[in-house]
Amino acid sequence: MKKHLFKHITQLRVRNYEIDWQGIVHNANYLLFFEVGRIEYLKHIGLKLNLSSIQTDSRVVLVRNEIDYKNSAQFDDLLNIYTRVSYIKNTSFAFEGIIEDETAGRLIAENIAYHVWLHPKTGKPIRVRKDFRDKVGAFEGKNLRLIGEKK
Amino acid sequence: MKKHLFKHITQLRVRNYEIDWQGIVHNANYLLFFEVGRIEYLKHIGLKLNLSSIQTDSRVVLVRNEIDYKNSAQFDDLLNIYTRVSYIKNTSFAFEGIIEDETAGRLIAENIAYHVWLHPKTGKPIRVRKDFRDKVGAFEGKNLRLIGEKK
Amino acid sequence: MKKHLFKHITQLRVRNYEIDWQGIVHNANYLLFFEVGRIEYLKHIGLKLNLSSIQTDSRVVLVRNEIDYKNSAQFDDLLNIYTRVSYIKNTSFAFEGIIEDETAGRLIAENIAYHVWLHPKTGKPIRVRKDFRDKVGAFEGKNLRLIGEKK
Amino acid sequence: MKKHLFKHITQLRVRNYEIDWQGIVHNANYLLFFEVGRIEYLKHIGLKLNLSSIQTDSRVVLVRNEIDYKNSAQFDDLLNIYTRVSYIKNTSFAFEGIIEDETAGRLIAENIAYHVWLHPKTGKPIRVRKDFRDKVGAFEGKNLRLIGEKK
């Protein structure tokens, strides 16, 4: 992934209970870290995400995760989590994420998380909501690909 | 994925603390469930996996995970986890996994987990060990693809 | 604790990701295991516990946990979780739990979990509900202490 | 607990995956948060704690945890974790912890974690090591109770 395309960074410090029996961060925890990045990103661009909105108005589902593991993170590492929305299609969009170790500058893992926007009642895919398009578009600028949109 | 290719099943019951604030199994937990499947698989075919072997002789690393989320699992669902090794190349191999809900027969998630065999000291990729090839080959039979092997 | 007082057992197998960097089950996981025991107990005696009842009708809160760690559980250990309600007072009750290793018969940990029954709107303690008293009473019989009740 | 006795604070922000199906931090996570506090405390007073020291030289075991739950923490709450060693006996010592919500100043939970110092080979309790006594003593000053010591 191209790090210069990312405009949002969150930091996390690896906690001891995230370390597995091999002495490194357990592979499933990176999914949690990328998710922290996405939630901070949404907060940052002004898309409020709280518990009640999620439980009453949940229309966005994660349909696919891809994670490439590059190096292992260790206990007490300070991690930079880069997050961006890379594209928005009609009914779907994708987040990309990069985790790197702040101190050593090593690349730890990369993630693409594919999401689909669903009608809360029918469960059918519907067009990605306008406020999401607008706020992500304003934040990402020309780095955001709008796929299948008429000009 | 083609379920008839899978010869190994593990069962898990979803525990309450695996449910997230949306009332469904948190997406990262499926990675843990697939991993339980792989560990049970290795035990079943006679590749002993214990803590000491992992800490002193750890040569196999997970380099990539792909997970497709199809339906949500709920509290107390009984899950069938299907596991198989789909191919072995010279220095790498892949596990495939399917999770389905036992009661409703719904497909929950699919996973491909790519692994590389490393030299424990140099960290360079080395040929997948013979006992792994033999035991997986004996168990999987003709379903296992051996890629790049001379006949 | 006196094991002969317990009439309910749940079994769990320790999963690899529950092991910490010391090679043993992480201490916080025992809280999760005891909770699994309590939930199975409630299901067993006929107090249905599902997600919707918890989110709309949550009146029972955990106010204190005590855990004594006796021996470490290891990867792949089969654990017996003994669960009972030891007493019911006017507005509160306690669960006791014992975890032991099935194979070696070793005592792993003991727990007392203190709960209070709250009014769902005011949040004030109220009398423990009758169906809970009745079903626990029927199951536990003379082992259950009813504290502060008029005869 | 008396907050003015605590000289060490760590901060944590509650992450989304720490929230359970009731919409609040799952009760077992507070144990993890108190542990983060203890590890930061040990680092702060100069007792280095890294993975290799734990795996080769693990002599300190947690034998009992007591947690009192006062109020629920929510998603995105910033938590202050207060940590101190309250006493050192001959072969044992205890950590106390308080978690409070930074914004509202609400008390969330309190913890006492009892530890015993063991001989790494025999597993028998031995005297708490001098460097631990010295560094904790220097940091805590008169707040630390030394129990059963000859003057």
Mean pLDDT of A7-16: 94
Nearest alpha carbon to residue A28 among B53, C33, B25: B25
Helix (H) or strand (E) holding D65: strand D60-69
Could you give the angle at the alpha carbon of D34 between the alpha carbons of A11 and D128, nearest 5°? Answer: 120
Nearest alpha carbon to residue C98 among C43, C26, C137, C41: C41
Strands C107-117 and D107-117: unpaired
Q: How far is the C-alpha of A92 from the C-alpha of A89, rounded, in Å?
A: 5
Least confident range of A51-60, B31-40, C16-25, C124-133 = A51-60
Please tell me which residue of chain C has the smallest CA distance to A29: C17
Is C3-146 assigned to CATH 3.10.129.10? yes
Mean pLDDT of C12-26: 88
Write out chain A residues lying below 8 Å of B23, CB-based: 55
Q: How far is the C-alpha of C97 from the C-alpha of C113, rounded, in Å?
A: 8
Q: What is the pLDDT of residue A89?
A: 97
pLDDT in tens, B56-66: 555 889 999 99
Of the partner residues C17, C23, C28, the one whose CB lies closest to the CB of residue A26: C17
Selected for mutation to probe chain A from D11, D16, D44 (highest A CB count within 10 Å) is: D16
Counted across chains B and C, CB pairs separated by less than 8 A come out at 30
pLDDT in tens, B68-107: 999 999 988 999 999 999 999 999 999 999 999 999 999 9
Calculate the alpha carbon distances from D75 to C84, C129, D13, D25, D32 in Å. Answer: 32, 30, 8, 7, 16
Phi, psi of A112 (to 5 degrees): -120, 130
The two three-digit tokens of residue B23, written as one number? 């009332």
Identity of residue D139: F
pLDDT in tens, A29-44: 999 999 999 999 999 9
Of the partner residues C15, C39, C75, the one whose CB lies closest to the CB of residue B50: C75
Phi, psi of B92 (to 5 degrees): -145, 165
pLDDT in tens, B32-42: 999 999 999 99
Query: In this model, does residue B55 exceed pLDDT 60?
Result: no
Q: What is the pLDDT of residue C59?
A: 81
Q: How far is the C-alpha of D5 from the C-alpha of D85, rounded, in Å?
A: 10
Is residue C9 a contact partner of residue C81, using CB atoms and an 8 Å limit?
A: yes
Q: How far is the C-alpha of A26 from the C-alpha of B32, rounded, in Å?
A: 10
Of the partner residues D19, D28, D55, the one whose CB lies closest to the CB of residue B20: D19
Mean pLDDT of D102-110: 95
Write out chain A residues lying below 8 Å of D75, CB-based: 50-51
Selected for mutation to probe chain B from C17, C33, C47 (highest B CB count within 10 Å) is: C17
Q: How far is the C-alpha of B37 from the C-alpha of B113, rounded, in Å?
A: 12
Q: How far is the C-alpha of D20 from the C-alpha of B16, rounded, in Å?
A: 9
Phi, psi of C35 (to 5 degrees): -65, -40
Does any CB of chain A come closer than 8 Å to the CB of residue C32?
no
Entry pTM: 0.91
Phi, psi of A63 (to 5 degrees): -110, -20
Identity of residue D36: V
Length of chain D: 151
Query: Helix or strand or coil: residue A5?
Result: helix
Q: How confident is the model at residue A53 (pLDDT cuts 50, 70, 90)?
A: low
Q: How far is the C-alpha of D37 from the C-alpha of D32, rounded, in Å?
A: 9
pLDDT in tens, C45-74: 998 765 555 555 558 899 999 999 999 999
Q: What is the pLDDT of residue D20?
A: 85
Please tell me which residue of chain B has the smallest CA distance to D29: B17
Q: Do C35 and B17 touch (CB under 8 A)?
A: yes
Mean pLDDT of D30-50: 90
What residue segments make up the domains of chain B, in order of their start? 3-146
Q: What is the pLDDT of residue B19?
A: 87
**Could you tell me which residues are beta bridge partners of residue C78?**
C13
Mean pLDDT of D44-61: 70
Is residue C45 a contact partner of residue C92, using CB atoms and an 8 Å limit?
A: no
